[in-house]
Amino acid sequence: MPAESVSRIPVEERLFSLVLALLATETGLTKNEVLSTVQGYRQRYSAGGDNANLERQFERDKDDIRDLGVPLETVDSPGQAGNNQNLRYRIPRGSYELPSDITFSAEETTLLNLAAMVWREGSLSGESRRAVIKLKGLGLVADEPVLGYAPRIRVRDASFEPLRAALERNAVVRFAYLKPGEAEAGVREVAPLALVQHQGRWHLHALEPGTEVTKTFLLRRIVSQVTTTGSTFPAPSGDQTARALTELDDVWEAHTADVEVVTDSDASTRLLKRRGTVRLPSGALRLHYSDANIFADELAGYGPEALVLSPPALREAVRSRLLGIVAEHTHHDGAAEGSSHG
Amino acid sequence: MAERPSPLKAQDKLAFLLSLVPFLMEHERISVQDAADHFGVTPQQVRDAVELIAVSGIPGETGQYQHGDLFDLAWDDFEENDQIVLTNLVAIDDAPRFSGREAAALIAGLQYLSALPENADRTAIATLMAKLARGASGPPSQFAVGGSESDGTLALIRESVASGLQLEFDYVNSRGEHERRRVDPLRIESMDADWYLRGWCHLREAVRTFRIDRIGNPRVTTAPITTHAADVQLSDALFEGSENDLVVTIDVAPAAASLLADYLTDGARSTIVDGRTRTTLRVSHYHGLKRLVGGLPGMVTVVEPADARQAVAEWAAAGAAQYDSTAHSTTGAAH
């Protein structure tokens, strides 16, 4: 067994050699040609023997390379369409290389580096790190910014990554979703179309399979693991993210609340800075929101600094939250307890 | 599957190799140090990559990796002078495209940053996004971040730094007291929808973090900035605990646990009590605690100390009491 020599060829050398070999071929290489000649495979290739392990290695390597944005394609051998053993693999230069007219100015490079920094934590950090490596490869040098920035998005919803993976594969997903006001989560089965962050929260825009009905789900209300059902759906056409964001903006525009705030309070400073807030002649603020339950949570945090005038449902939602907090913090609940009764 | 090496690491290295080659082609001769500085990696990482490139190539006509089928390097220059000169090139002519996901990550990052004054030129940003999409080998994945409007305070902070003049603004401190602060801005930071200014505070004579949406009536003063970003080593943590912090025991619903991660005490132990996590968090004052707990109704309960419970209860009770009177009679300020 040539196992010892194998371990000495690092993974990146095998992947790099595979990319070079497939870039250099016009007609493509068959799997057998790859396994028997390319560095990192050939050392483990057994002529006429069983190469099942090596074939599996090649399958995984293809996925890893494609993940990187390398367009590895399969072509039928001339006159042998459908013959799996004679499929040929290649990387067409035109789809591999960055078009030569795409260049970035120093200003643009600064912005792109900042944009990549946004994802330095979490599931997209690998993508943005590799995007920056590729930008550097273009020899670009960023402007020294006037003011330092350290922007960051943290995707804290456990469902984000499985949904994103399902979205790329057009896979139907299943999850338990807890609607506010309902005691039990209901199981949903949907075709994911887009993941969008709106007003700081991640939403899934999805299609009910077999219908034209799209729905938007808040990721933070997904209370189970996200699983795929095994079925797929036809890739939607058009920019689904733009559609999803427009719909969310429409909802935001349509919902307003009038809230009285204490002058110079934290509530007054911060609520006035929310997008779209206007001060009414009475001094109250007219605020936009997309989800009454989430907005009620936010307003409850302001305690006596904010008083909802309308709509009545939001008024009641904030009031009942505040009463709930009072109850939770004045009743004995078996825990270590002090004297908090007034 | 168990033998699978960590693919992320190898993929990063592959991306580096595929990007380094065209970079070295552009620079006929470059020192290892300069290349390392450019890519933000160590000189040894560059040396390792160059050594690998130099012995790599294509199987070629013979399938044997003959000499002309390999990259080659001016080895003497490399080994003696730490200079990189590629003397033979194979297969690669140009830089690789972005993957659809990489392009999407950058595009969404740009969308997220749309509040920055640098991004005020929306047409330029749209052009940049279109270039990224065109420079990707696949369609950008379907995720995006809704843009926000340019923030006037951010623009003013930038102006303050550009003109070298201190910024002045109203701010409510952690005890709920109003103060006029004069600050030398050092860095803008953000976490999701929340934006912060880190700056040298002339009132406290220390580095402080300010929430941008709590900054009131900002203006650029005529007093020159005395502390610059280069003078201060900013820690990665936005909020540093102080020894005067109060430690509070809370019960948290699983759904809210991640929202409180920033406030938890280092190495806080947690136990499960009735399906909720009991843990401890740090607050500088109950003024902040009551707002934090109030904003997570039903999800967080303060267990002890008793006066913390009381502070939260009184805050919520005062809020609720407003609704018992008529809609237009306000209660007094809560400080």
Closest to B100 measured CA to CA, from A140, A167, A106, A236: A167
pLDDT at B3 over 50: no
pLDDT at A80 over 70: no
DSSP B226-278: ---GGG----S-SS---TT-EEEEEEE-GGGGGGGGGGBPTT---EEETTEEE
Q: Do A303 and B318 touch (CB under 8 A)?
A: yes
Percentage above 70 pLDDT, chain B: 90
Closest to B91 measured CA to CA, from B31, B32, B38, B17: B17
Q: Do B116 and A340 touch (CB under 8 A)?
A: no
Looking at residues B18-30, what average pLDDT do you find? Answer: 94
What are the domain boundaries of chain B?
10-88, 152-231, 246-319
What are the domain boundaries of chain A?
3-96, 99-154, 160-238, 255-330
Looking at residues B49-72, what average pLDDT do you find? Answer: 90
pLDDT at B134 over 90: yes
Residues 79-98 of B with CB under 8 A from A: 90-98
Task: State which of A115-124, A167-176, B190-199 shows the largest mean pLDDT.
Answer: A167-176
B273 vs A245: which has the higher pLDDT: A245
A30 vs A334: which has the higher pLDDT: A30
Q: Which of B98, B188, B333 sits opposite A149 (nearest CB)?
A: B188
Q: Where are the beta strands (DSSP E) in chain A?
A: 29-30, 73-75, 88-90, 148-150, 171-177, 186-198, 201-207, 214-218, 227-232, 256-261, 278-279, 285-288, 306-310
Q: Please tell me the distance from the alpha carbon of residue A203 to that of residue A194, in angstroms, as a whole number.
A: 8
The structure tokens 């002309």 sit at B68
Looking at residues B88-112, what average pLDDT do you find? Answer: 92
The pLDDT value recorded for residue B30 is 96
Helix (H, G, I), strand (E, B) or coil at A313: helix
The model carries a pTM of 0.85
Confidence of residue B35 (pLDDT cuts 50, 70, 90): very high
Confidence of residue A3 (pLDDT cuts 50, 70, 90): very low
Closest to A154 measured CA to CA, from A202, A112, A199: A202
The pLDDT value recorded for residue A335 is 46
Predicted-complex ipTM score: 0.86
H or E, element range at B185: strand B178-191
Pair A98, A138: CB distance under 8 Å: yes
CATH top-level class for B10-88?
Answer: mainly alpha
The pLDDT value recorded for residue A303 is 94
The pLDDT value recorded for residue B1 is 34
pLDDT at A337 over 60: no
* CB < 8 Å to A323, chain B: 316, 320
Q: Do B98 and A305 touch (CB under 8 A)?
A: no
* CB < 8 Å to A38, chain B: 59
The pLDDT value recorded for residue A251 is 93
Burial degree of A116 (CB within 10 A; 0-12, 13-18, 19+): buried
Nearest residue of A to residue B163, measured between CA atoms:
A146
CB pairs under 8 A between A and B: 423
The pLDDT value recorded for residue B4 is 39
The domain made up of B246-319 has a fold known as Alpha-Beta Plaits (3.30.70)
pLDDT at A7 over 70: no
Nearest residue of A to residue B124, measured between CA atoms:
A108
* CB < 8 Å to B319, chain A: 300, 302-306, 318, 322
Closest to A304 measured CA to CA, from B306, B259, B285, B176: B176
Burial degree of A225 (CB within 10 A; 0-12, 13-18, 19+): exposed
The pLDDT value recorded for residue A265 is 87
Q: Do B11 and A126 touch (CB under 8 A)?
A: yes
Average pLDDT value for chain A = 88
Confidence of residue B241 (pLDDT cuts 50, 70, 90): low
Confidence of residue B287 (pLDDT cuts 50, 70, 90): confident
Token pair recorded at residue A261: 């705030």
pLDDT at A334 over 50: no
Percentage above 70 pLDDT, chain A: 92
The pLDDT value recorded for residue A144 is 77
Confidence of residue A200 (pLDDT cuts 50, 70, 90): confident
Closest to A138 measured CA to CA, from A175, A97, A170: A97
Looking at residues B64-76, what average pLDDT do you find? Answer: 90
pLDDT at B69 over 80: yes
Q: Do A111 and B118 touch (CB under 8 A)?
A: yes
Q: Do A16 and B11 touch (CB under 8 A)?
A: no
The pLDDT value recorded for residue B328 is 47
pLDDT at A271 over 50: yes
Nearest residue of B to residue A192, measured between CA atoms:
B142
The domain made up of B152-231 has a fold known as SH3 type barrels. (2.30.30)
Residues 109-168 of B with CB under 8 A from A: 109-110, 112-113, 116, 118-119, 124-125, 128, 131-132, 134-138, 141-146, 148-149, 157-158, 161-162
The domain made up of A160-238 has a fold known as SH3 type barrels. (2.30.30)
* CB < 8 Å to A58, chain B: none
Alpha-helix residue ranges (DSSP H) falling in A68-207:
93-96, 106-117, 125-137, 160-168
| Cα Rg of chain A, angstroms | 28
Looking at residues A273-289, what average pLDDT do you find? Answer: 92
Lowest mean pLDDT among B94-98, B239-243, B301-305: B239-243
Nearest residue of B to residue A134, measured between CA atoms:
B19
B150 vs B134: which has the higher pLDDT: B134
Looking at residues A51-57, what average pLDDT do you find? Answer: 93
The structure tokens 């943290």 sit at A154
Residues 6+ apart with CB under 8 A from A55: A31, A35
Could you say which architecture CATH assigns to the domain A3-96? Orthogonal Bundle (1.10)
